[in-house]
Amino acid sequence: MKNQFTLYEINEKGYTPGHYKALKHPGYIYCFLLEGEVLAEIEEQNILIGPGQFVMIPPGKSVTVKYFNGCKGFDGSFTLEFVKDASYPVLRSDSLIQQSFWFEDAVFMGALFRRMFTAYGDKDKNFIQSALDLILGQIRPGGKVAAVSERFLQLVFERGTTPLSVAEYAGMLSVTPNYLNKTVKNRTRRTAIDWIEIARLNIAKSLLKDPSISIADVSAHAGLPDQSYFSRFFKKKTGQTPSEFRNSR
């Protein structure tokens, strides 16, 4: 069964700097979050996954986790051969599926995944197939992520770039800073500056692992060339100065 279906429990706490290696799977990859948030890049498209959201990625797509925090939930994979009924519309979609479940529906999905996780440990294939059919029957293809916030996240977390200001990103997207902040906050529950600061910390923590890179260069790469201000920013966010963080590794 493991070659056709996998299910893992997500229970990761805290911030993880850097980028994970891109993953491609011959089957469908799925994730359901109970708590926390995950920012993933799927075929160069940034997707923020929050509580109560189910995501399913078609076979062969490149997936890279960029950021996660306070996550609880479930993820795994399955092949068409494992599914009892392969006629569900979502299985014919070549695009990723992202669907939100609210209130009682989210509670039901959480309970169903917990039962599936127990069944997976017991190798109860019949129950898992029936539960997966139930999930696939509730998912609808065609959900779109807001274009402005999607493009903003793409720009902020683009590899090899230095994070800019809200005004600079707004200019690149041909919107006002206020509109950008409002749109990103409505979509992600975080402001544009929140995501920029997450990206700055992502870069700083990653570079501080290399003792050959000076603090001044780390500061510049994080988009805060004033080293004194960078140190205050870093300590406010982590409780440590950049040097203390580096020495604690």
Give the model confidence (pLDDT) of 214-226 as tens digits: 999 999 999 999 9
Give the model confidence (pLDDT) of 43-59 as tens digits: 878 888 988 899 999 99
DSSP letter, residue 81: G
Residues near 248 by Cβ (< 8 Å), separated by ≥ 6? 240
Least confident of 51-65, 138-152, 187-201: 138-152
Rounded distance between C-alpha atoms, residue 202 and residue 157, angstroms: 9
pLDDT computed for residue 14 by the predictor: 37
Rounded distance between C-alpha atoms, residue 119 and residue 121, angstroms: 5
Quote the longest CA-to-CA distance of the chain: 61
- Residue range(s) in the chain whose domain bears CATH number 2.60.120.280: 5-138
| Residue 18, pLDDT above cutoff 50 | no
Which fold, 5-138?
A: Jelly Rolls (2.60.120)
Secondary structure of residue 231 in the 3-state scheme: helix
148-247: CATH architecture = Orthogonal Bundle (1.10)
pLDDT computed for residue 26 by the predictor: 87
Q: Name the average pLDDT for the chain.
A: 86
* pTM assigned to the model: 0.64
| Mean pLDDT confidence for 177-193 | 87
- Residue range(s) in the chain whose domain bears CATH number 1.10.10.60: 148-247
The tokens describing 37, both together, are 């948030």
Block residue for tokens 């790469």 = 221
